[in-house]
Amino acid sequence: MAYVSIEADERLEEGPEGLQFQSFLDSDNRSSEPGVGNVGSRGYIPDRPGKTSFWQVEHYQPYFDIDTLTVLRRCYSTLIPSKSSYLATHLTPADLYGPFWTLTTLIFSLFVFSSLASSISVYLSDPDAASPTDPLEYNFGLLSIAVGLVYSYGLAVPILLWLGLRYLGVGEWSVVETVALWGYGQFVWIPVSLLCVIPFSAARWTFVGIGFALSGFFLVFNIYPVLATADQKAVRLIAILLVLLHAAIALCFKVLFFSYYPTKGDKSG
Amino acid sequence: MQRPEDSLTTPLTSTSQFIQADDDDDLDEEAIPGFAHPTIGSDTPQSAVFDKGKGRATEQLATPTSAAGPARTPTLSGNIGSMPSGVPSSARRTIGGVQVENRFTGVDTLDEPITTTIGRDLLSIYTKLVQVLYPPKGGASREVLRDWDLWGPFVLCLLLGILLSLKAPASQSLGIFTSVVAIISLGSLVVTIQAKLLGGRVSFFQGLCVFGYCVAPLNVAAFVSTFVHLIYVRVPIALAAWAWCVWGKILRTFPAVNFLDGTRIEQQRILLAVYPLLLFYFILAWMIIIQ
């Protein structure tokens, strides 16, 4: 058996600068990705891999790294008009749990309360004919309409807006922030749809109006600063477009889901 | 002439993999956990022992009881009659200084009648249904749902769709059926994916399976309200079924709430993980109410 002599690594004997103790405690906290802020420090997902591909579930886990109280606070603080920017105060970092489930809850609450309102109005129009054994009247197509309407408004519009602003070179926000802002902004419609069960036309219009005002104010107040950073003044006109779109969606909610009124003696109404 | 055991045993080639056997010779092979269904295991322990693969069958030739000749060996029927189970060490050989053994890893399903196969699957679905419908019974053996399948959820989902669309007006029955199937399938997908997104350590298909099986109480409610039209009866039944579903699902998916650190979802996020369940089961319960 032959031995080959290799040169020994002499750096070890050179002194302390070759091998040193080093603290890695701080560097763990700083290793969170820059795009999603301080997600890594919350520590709900202990062994998240550092770099994941777009198609893996782990890639999206940072956007769901949130706890219950935070989601609730983000939801109800959209109802309170405030001077501070929602993006800066609450969406740090932005999450996707809240927007998605806000929109899904909105779909279901629109359907549930709309069918409740319709059955109440049937009962009120003719209390004698509508015995408890009758099946409640409801229009099932409303569920698919609600799905299409809410998801297209709540997800497609912010993505298109982000793409458009990106094309114009405006805005320093991520698409997740846009979707989160938009999704949380629709939260107000959930209590509005509950209140719209009250079978009076004036009350319903009032509640829909309040909902439109609150969420419209919220969206415009938070999006206008982004639009205002553009060099071209014409970009700010997008805000008017968004308000018109928002009014259209409010009108759609009112007309499609809450147009059942008790009518005396006329069952077809 | 080649000896029959040589022709029947798996030939040892250079690509054969050897796993070193345990040294404890007093190992009881009955106690080795297989992946068979528990009830099947208790019903047919005989066949489970005798179907131990071709290796076991040839070993029996060497025992004195069947030494009368190859004509009497029942290997052709696939059912070796009365082999005593007291020869566990016969499955072990020493090859190249390493003791290896043929270990029983499951029921041989290759040459069983198809009725047995279907019967076992149906029995497995039935067992899981009982577990879901009566959760206290499943408290001890929560592991049964770990052996997931998707047939049961599929059948339950179709059943609920049919039950709900039976009484609907003709113009809406197709839409109701489609919606129920879509809600259950998409809902279970979304709920399972978001449990993973929240950092839960659940298997994907296991989550789908549990979600689907937990629809079973709603099926019961829908069945009852097909015949009972009183709204005063229907609402409590549907709400009770809703609570039942959610309770069963939580009991199985999030044992972390009470017992052990199963899914690794933290306390502050339990509500986030549970909320979609409440939502999806509630919309199904609501459809039963307004049926």
Banded model confidence at residue B20, pLDDT cuts 50, 70, 90: low
A58 to chain B: closest CA residue: B197
B279–A133 CB contact, under 8 Å = no
* Within a domain: B106: no
Task: Give the pLDDT of residue B92.
Answer: 66
Task: Give the pLDDT of residue B66.
Answer: 39
Task: Answer yes or no: is pLDDT of A91 > 90.
Answer: no
* Within a domain: B275: yes
Task: Give the pLDDT of residue B104.
Answer: 61
Task: Give the pLDDT of residue A247.
Answer: 92
B283–A135 CB contact, under 8 Å = no
* Within a domain: B107: no
Claim to verify: residue B179 and residue B35 sit in the same structural domain: no
- Of A76-85, B78-87, B99-108, the range with the highest mean pLDDT is A76-85
The per-residue pLDDT for range A251-267, each reduced to its tens digit, is 988 888 887 766 554 33
Claim to verify: residue B85 and residue B135 sit in the same structural domain: no
Task: Give the pLDDT of residue B142.
Answer: 54
Distance of residue A217 Cα from the nearest chain B Cα, in angstroms: 28
What's the mean per-residue pLDDT of chain B? 68
Give domain limits for chain A: 97-257
Residues of B with CB under 8 A from a CB of A: 167-168, 172, 175-176, 179, 193-194, 196-199, 229-232, 266, 268-272, 275-276, 279, 282-283, 286, 289-291
* Within a domain: B109: no
Burial class (CB in 10 A: 0-12, 13-18, 19+), B27: middle
B201 to chain A: closest CA residue: A45
Claim to verify: residue B87 and residue B130 sit in the same structural domain: no
Task: Give the pLDDT of residue A209.
Answer: 92
Quick one: average pLDDT of B112-137? 81
Claim to verify: residue B122 and residue B188 sit in the same structural domain: yes
Distance of residue A195 Cα from the nearest chain B Cα, in angstroms: 18
Task: Give the pLDDT of residue B12.
Answer: 55
Range of B238's domain? 114-289
Claim to verify: residue B52 and residue B19 sit in the same structural domain: yes
What the block records as the tokens of A165 is: 């602003």
Task: Answer yes or no: is pLDDT of B60 > 60.
Answer: no
Claim to verify: residue B8 and residue B62 sit in the same structural domain: yes
The per-residue pLDDT for range B174-209, each reduced to its tens digit, is 888 888 899 888 988 888 888 778 776 667 787 788
Claim to verify: residue B163 and residue B259 sit in the same structural domain: yes
Banded model confidence at residue A80, pLDDT cuts 50, 70, 90: confident
Count up the domains in chain B and report the number: 2
Q: Which residues does residue B95 pair with via DSSP β-bridges, in sequence order?
A: B98
B168–A68 CB contact, under 8 Å = no
Whole-angstrom distance, CA of residue B229 vs CA of residue B291: 9
The per-residue pLDDT for range A223-245, each reduced to its tens digit, is 888 888 877 788 888 889 999 99
| Preceding amide of A93 cis, omega within 30 | yes
Claim to verify: residue B97 and residue B146 sit in the same structural domain: no
| Contact between A235 and A227 (Cβ < 8 Å) | yes
Claim to verify: residue B69 and residue B132 sit in the same structural domain: no
ipTM value: 0.71
- Of A189-203, B41-55, B73-87, B265-279, the range with the highest mean pLDDT is A189-203
Task: Give the pLDDT of residue A246.
Answer: 92
Claim to verify: residue B229 and residue B93 sit in the same structural domain: no
Task: Answer yes or no: is pLDDT of B285 > 80.
Answer: yes
CA dist list (Å): A157 to A110, A175, A215, B274: 20, 11, 15, 29
* Within a domain: B157: yes
Task: Answer yes or no: is pLDDT of B8 > 50.
Answer: no
Whole-angstrom distance, CA of residue B125 vs CA of residue A236: 60
Task: Give the pLDDT of residue A8.
Answer: 57
Task: Give the pLDDT of residue A248.
Answer: 92
